Amino acid sequence: MVLNSYSKINLSLSINSKLRSGLHEIQSFFCLINLSDKIKISKINKKKDKVIFKGHFAKHIKKTDNSIVNLLKFLRKKKLISNFYSISVIKNIPIFGGLGGGTSNAAFILKYLLKEKINKNIFYKIEKLIGSDLRLFFYKQGFLESLKTIKVVKKKIKLIILLSYPNINCSTREIYSKVKKYSKKKKFYLHKISTKKNFVDYI
């Protein structure tokens, strides 16, 4: 099986506060875009998973501590899977670019293995293990009202997006650590983006 593991971008972003956990409460209008990693996954008759990364953006990924390896260990520990897998990932999504490539890989493998039937309790634990943006990859577009709440946009807006990659690696954690001023939370109203023009104006 070959999976497309799509990247995401924040079309808007406001940082509202810092939580006791160290995470930041944010609001964002986000969407998945058609820049994707290619994941080839198959069962193997062995007692160990084989996970390899290929492509231009593969060289900085840790072989024994990454989102896929950690996800498989967790699912097996919780007895949600019993098989072992050979997984090959062609990394087309730049790392350290805020596009969520590693989290996306885990999300699309999770959806494939559990057929999208995921217990909420288990999901929260996986989210804590993998990253707070895990839930974003279960929607094509939406408004992240808080870290735990997504407003689903039923009418999808088609966008053409140009990405520029300047070969600079940015740590999301480091960037958030430098935030000193916070924005007030805003109420999101779906009727404000009822047309493409309204949506672009809103963004």
- Catalytic residue positions, numbered: 8, 133
- Closest by alpha carbon to 35, among 115, 113, 91? 91
* Bridging pattern class, strands 50-54 and 24-44: unpaired
The CA angle 68-47-52, to the nearest 5 degrees, is 35
Question: How many CB atoms are located within 10 Å of the residue 144 CB?
Answer: 23
CA distance 102 to 96: 10
180: Cβ contacts below 8 Å, ≥ 6 apart:
none
Contact 134, 150 (CB under 8 A): no
CA distance 202 to 114: 36
* Bridging pattern class, strands 84-90 and 149-152: unpaired
3-state helix, strand, coil in the chain (%, to 5): 30, 30, 45
